[in-house]
Chain A
């Protein structure tokens, strides 16, 4: 039966892990704006590609 103490330890660690994840999510502001991210995630990946291209463009001399 002593194995139960080990299991309790694991389950508590797991739960604390989830709690910390929740606290991090709240502190990073994820509960503040619940609408915009749902729109943002639908924008095409292409925007990121071209943005990185554009950022490289202005200083091609470095390469």
Chain B
């Protein structure tokens, strides 16, 4: 049933407001033919459960007349890259579908086989917003499959980026397996070791023999499978003449295992297999904890994630679809509504609106006229246009940025040397020194005792607790950040946040609200009646500026104007109750012979209004700043160097000086490369920089900075490559985020001290040659578990004190 409140009918499919009540089908109302078509299709196929699971589950269908839009997917090159698996009978393909948002979506997509016989099976991964479809290619080709998805409002996003990398990250899978094997071995070995610990006299030799053999058999897979990551990483570090935390860990692992084998074979004792497997088990838990990732978010996007795969060009008077990469200078492109301009090109049609929100974060479309150069990354709004390519895709104003070396060097200095690695160098050296000295000390009594003491020191000093401190603190901190609106790519970013000295802001979309404008009226006072008729006229226009202004007006009753005309690129005219209303650019009013007072010079977005040939004034649309910015900057100014990089002109300078208190850190008209260079300059002075930006034009600066944070109104939807994604509503929490990162580092230092204390106690026993399997079996888990408890509790308590949400 359509919900009717205050005479507004909401579309049963997508929930949008219906402009007319005419589009109906079996007592349901729809906002457009597109939505109705989807409903009819679903009801014909007995799929109306879609509408009962959620209210208004659908997406507004932007009807696209072009039926051959997905033909390019049948091109063998593209098809082969997309299809994951294929045999004679069926193929498997996985699509990313941004519009998946509710349980109705899951239901409908997984029932796709009811809509087409070609579909065998479909499975949705909701968090990743992916659907994996098994289909029969001879019944339904790939192009038709995508067309089917698009026809029900689930158009997959197929772009350069996702055809290049098909391999899914399966490393978590192997971590689970390693953890499972280690846990299995640990549990069982404990079972066979306990009898020896608990009985006062030596065990029956038969039992002892069976237990020991079982222990070796169980411990082998832990050494050969579960601990391989640590051994490999230590080997790699040593071969590069570095020391990381995995070196002392591997040392402990190897010594524990070989000494246990030796003791079991010679019959000296039961060995340390329980400590060995326990060590690996705890370490892997720490690793899993640290590895928490946000599957739904993507931190590695570059322009290829947004650019289309193919584009329509006109060659020899024939339309053809070519891959974007083979676009040449001078090609004539045809772009339709909502399509992205893939290369810098010159507009050949009379005029169009271009939405540059991907590039700059500014969502109000900009008007372009014939002959204007349009940079790649703009989105066409309105009628289809023709453009002529003026630069190759990789050489464009925006895309040139990715030719910069920083996008091609894999290891950057910012990724090296974490606090744990620094600590491990001193730790390893200290442990080896202690082991050698105590070994030498016992040498005069017997070599056997000396070797035993030497290995005991290495065993007891194995930095299990030390190695767990950072993963658990940073893992908890990452969770807390995530719940308070800052989504961090991985835990090492937190350490970098704690060292930040400078903060650089982008303006549009970061400091300003990207989807909200201030609308101000300048000119004669308007009567209530005049406001009403202006509102009616504007509401009839599809132009984004009209929508923005009328959105701010109190919505009056529905009223059809007697006459209405829209002139693309100029303005609108309409007649109501005999009054003629003109709205649009100055040129539009001048064209209609209306005397217009010239406004001030500063480039701004204005809509001029005339009623019955009398000029009334104009609406100014300005970006509104996010609330609370003055407090934010007051907080930050004391501790950090602040700067602003804006791609726009300096029209807003006076407003920004209020926040920054001076204008020498404000930089305008910055190209994407300028922003990158600016960050580089700060870093060459030894300062660590955090960059906050939101558009693709910030991508270079985000990548270069020590911590690049993408600010996004909808965290799941769009962000350039970055280290962290910040919910735009939480930007005021920034000072707390920074403080919390530093507190987390303090917690790590404290837990390092605690775990060193454990090590000292253990070493006290070890250097005296008093170590036993029982002592090791007690000390290792006790130290690990107490460190885990301390770090997680301390982190959460600190977060709570700072007002970040901790426990759910």
Q: Chain A interface (Cβ within 8 Å of chain B)?
A: 1, 4-5, 8, 11-12, 15, 18-19, 22-23, 26-27, 29, 31-36, 39-40, 42-44, 46-47, 50-51, 54-55, 58
A50 contact set on B, CB distance < 8 A: 46, 114
CB distance from A6 to the nearest CB of B (A): 12
B188 contact set on A, CB distance < 8 A: 12, 15
Report Cα–Cα, A23/B176, bound state, in Å.
9
B172 contact set on A, CB distance < 8 A: 31-32
A35 and B127 contacting across the interface, CB-CB below 8 Å:
yes
Interface of A is mostly: helix
A-B pairs, 6 with minimum CB distance: A36-B126, A19-B184, A33-B125, A26-B176, A22-B180, A39-B103
Contacts of B104-132 to chain A: CB distance below 8 A = 106-107, 110-111, 113-114, 117, 124-128
B184 contact set on A, CB distance < 8 A: 15, 18-19, 22
B214 contact set on A, CB distance < 8 A: 8, 12
A19 and B46 contacting across the interface, CB-CB below 8 Å:
no
CB distance from A50 to the nearest CB of B (A): 6
A35 and B126 in contact, given A15-B187, A22-B180 (Cβ under 8 angstroms):
yes
CB distance from A52 to the nearest CB of B (A): 11
Report Cα–Cα, A51/B46, bound state, in Å.
10
Report Cα–Cα, A34/B106, bound state, in Å.
14
B106 and A36 contacting across the interface, CB-CB below 8 Å:
yes
Report Cα–Cα, A59/B45, bound state, in Å.
16
Residue ID in chain A nearest B52 by CB atoms: A44
CB distance from A63 to the nearest CB of B (A): 18
Contact with A along B167-208 (1 / 0, CB 8 A): 000001100110011001001100110000000000010010
Contact with A along B143-183 (1 / 0, CB 8 A): 00000000000000000000000000000110011001100
A39 and B106 contacting across the interface, CB-CB below 8 Å:
yes
B49 adjacent to chain A (CB < 8 Å): yes
CB distance from B216 to the nearest CB of A (A): 14
Residue ID in chain A nearest B177 by CB atoms: A26
B176 and A31 contacting across the interface, CB-CB below 8 Å:
yes
Report Cα–Cα, A32/B207, bound state, in Å.
42
A40 and B210 contacting across the interface, CB-CB below 8 Å:
no
A47 contact set on B, CB distance < 8 A: 49, 107, 111
Counting chain B residues whose Cβ lies within 8 A of the other chain, the interface size class is 20 to 34
Report Cα–Cα, A23/B225, bound state, in Å.
13
A58 contact set on B, CB distance < 8 A: 117
Beyond A5-B210, A19-B184, A39-B106, 18 additional pairs, beta carbon < 8 A = A4-B207, A22-B184, A23-B180, A26-B173, A27-B173, A31-B173, A32-B125, A33-B128, A35-B127, A36-B125, A36-B127, A39-B126, A40-B110, A43-B49, A44-B49, A47-B107, A54-B114, A58-B117
A51 contact set on B, CB distance < 8 A: 111, 113-114
Residue ID in chain B nearest A33 by CB atoms: B125
Report Cα–Cα, A24/B196, bound state, in Å.
34
CB distance from A22 to the nearest CB of B (A): 5
CB distance from A45 to the nearest CB of B (A): 12
CB distance from A51 to the nearest CB of B (A): 6
B45 contact set on A, CB distance < 8 A: 54
Report Cα–Cα, A15/B214, bound state, in Å.
13
B117 and A33 contacting across the interface, CB-CB below 8 Å:
no
CB distance from B683 to the nearest CB of A (A): 38
A36 and B124 contacting across the interface, CB-CB below 8 Å:
yes
Report Cα–Cα, A12/B128, bound state, in Å.
39
CB distance from A18 to the nearest CB of B (A): 8
A18 contact set on B, CB distance < 8 A: 184
Residue ID in chain A nearest B195 by CB atoms: A4
B46 contact set on A, CB distance < 8 A: 50, 54
A8 and B210 in contact, given A43-B107, A44-B49 (Cβ under 8 angstroms):
yes
Report Cα–Cα, A8/B209, bound state, in Å.
13
B103 contact set on A, CB distance < 8 A: 39, 42
Report Cα–Cα, A63/B191, bound state, in Å.
61
B53 contact set on A, CB distance < 8 A: 43
CB distance from B334 to the nearest CB of A (A): 39
The 24 sampled A-B contact pairs (Cβ below 8 Å) are A11-B191, A12-B214, A15-B188, A18-B184, A19-B180, A19-B181, A22-B180, A26-B177, A27-B173, A27-B177, A29-B173, A31-B172, A31-B173, A33-B125, A33-B127, A34-B127, A36-B124, A36-B126, A36-B127, A40-B106, A42-B103, A43-B49, A47-B107, A54-B46
Report Cα–Cα, A23/B83, bound state, in Å.
27
Report Cα–Cα, A60/B45, bound state, in Å.
17
A43 contact set on B, CB distance < 8 A: 49, 53, 107
CB distance from A57 to the nearest CB of B (A): 10
Report Cα–Cα, A34/B46, bound state, in Å.
29
B124 contact set on A, CB distance < 8 A: 36
Report Cα–Cα, A36/B129, bound state, in Å.
10
Residue ID in chain B nearest A4 by CB atoms: B207
Report Cα–Cα, A34/B127, bound state, in Å.
9
Report Cα–Cα, A4/B207, bound state, in Å.
9
Residue ID in chain B nearest A40 by CB atoms: B106
A33 and B207 contacting across the interface, CB-CB below 8 Å:
no
B187 contact set on A, CB distance < 8 A: 15
CB distance from A33 to the nearest CB of B (A): 5
Report Cα–Cα, A7/B10, bound state, in Å.
68
B49 contact set on A, CB distance < 8 A: 43-44, 46-47
Report Cα–Cα, A23/B113, bound state, in Å.
31
B113 contact set on A, CB distance < 8 A: 51, 55
Report Cα–Cα, A20/B128, bound state, in Å.
28
Report Cα–Cα, A55/B210, bound state, in Å.
58
CB distance from B225 to the nearest CB of A (A): 11
Report Cα–Cα, A4/B324, bound state, in Å.
72
CB distance from A29 to the nearest CB of B (A): 8
A1 contact set on B, CB distance < 8 A: 204
CB distance from B13 to the nearest CB of A (A): 20
A26 and B180 contacting across the interface, CB-CB below 8 Å:
yes
Report Cα–Cα, A47/B173, bound state, in Å.
32
A54 contact set on B, CB distance < 8 A: 45-46, 114
Residue ID in chain A nearest B125 by CB atoms: A33
B125 contact set on A, CB distance < 8 A: 32-33, 36
Report Cα–Cα, A33/B180, bound state, in Å.
18
Residue ID in chain B nearest A21 by CB atoms: B180
Report Cα–Cα, A14/B195, bound state, in Å.
20
A34 contact set on B, CB distance < 8 A: 127
B177 and A23 contacting across the interface, CB-CB below 8 Å:
yes
Report Cα–Cα, A1/B207, bound state, in Å.
10
A32 and B173 in contact, given A8-B214, A47-B49 (Cβ under 8 angstroms):
yes
A31 contact set on B, CB distance < 8 A: 172-173, 176
A15 contact set on B, CB distance < 8 A: 184, 187-188
Report Cα–Cα, A39/B104, bound state, in Å.
10
CB distance from A61 to the nearest CB of B (A): 15
B207 contact set on A, CB distance < 8 A: 4
B191 contact set on A, CB distance < 8 A: 11
Contact with A along B441-458 (1 / 0, CB 8 A): 000000000000000000
A35 contact set on B, CB distance < 8 A: 126-127
CB distance from B126 to the nearest CB of A (A): 4
Report Cα–Cα, A60/B65, bound state, in Å.
36
Residue ID in chain B nearest A55 by CB atoms: B113
A27 contact set on B, CB distance < 8 A: 173, 177
Report Cα–Cα, A54/B114, bound state, in Å.
7
CB distance from A5 to the nearest CB of B (A): 7
Contacts of B43-70 to chain A: CB distance below 8 A = 45-46, 49, 53
CB distance from B281 to the nearest CB of A (A): 13
B111 contact set on A, CB distance < 8 A: 47, 51
Residue ID in chain A nearest B45 by CB atoms: A54
B126 and A33 contacting across the interface, CB-CB below 8 Å:
yes
CB distance from B295 to the nearest CB of A (A): 8
Report Cα–Cα, A29/B173, bound state, in Å.
8
Report Cα–Cα, A26/B214, bound state, in Å.
26
